[in-house]
Amino acid sequence: MFKQLFLVLAAAICTVSASPVTSLNCGGTIYQIPSVQRNLAEGVRLQQLGQTIPSGDSGSAVYPHKYNDLDGLNLAKSCARQLWDFPLVKGAKAFGRFDHAGPDRVVFLETGVYCASITHIGASNPNGFALCRNV
């Protein structure tokens, strides 16, 4: 119980990042900093607990899951290790069990370091990703 509480608190206050957490434009959807931080914290919390949650989309996607950067996106050199992704959604709550994942993701290291936000919208390959832009 104490370990889980500690991980939740650590993920919630984690501000370490290889890239600064900023407001973003992901394929035309604007995310404010609190939304990015909220979804990042939840993805990190679940990953550190070794837990995943299913999306409500067709298929069997669960999050967070490993992200392999098959698109060769220009990520910070400190992010050249195993990456994880978690849906980036708007609103007062982070992505939750059986929610629609949508096209956007936060990408992070297992240590909780934020690396980037990415979107399927505008990607050069089907099911690929492109970087979201800072606004």
- Kindly give the confidence (pLDDT) of every residue in the chain, 135 residues in length, as a single tens digit, with 9 standing for 90 and above: 444 444 444 444 444 556 778 899 999 999 999 999 999 999 999 999 999 999 998 778 999 999 999 999 999 999 999 999 999 999 899 999 999 999 999 999 999 999 999 999 999 988 899 999 999
- Determine the topology of domain 2-134 in CATH: Nuclear Transport Factor 2; Chain: A, (3.10.450)
Query: What does pTM read for this prediction?
Result: 0.85
Residue 67's nearest CA partner among 95, 105, 25 is 105
**2's tokens:** 């104490």
Largest CA distance in the chain: 45
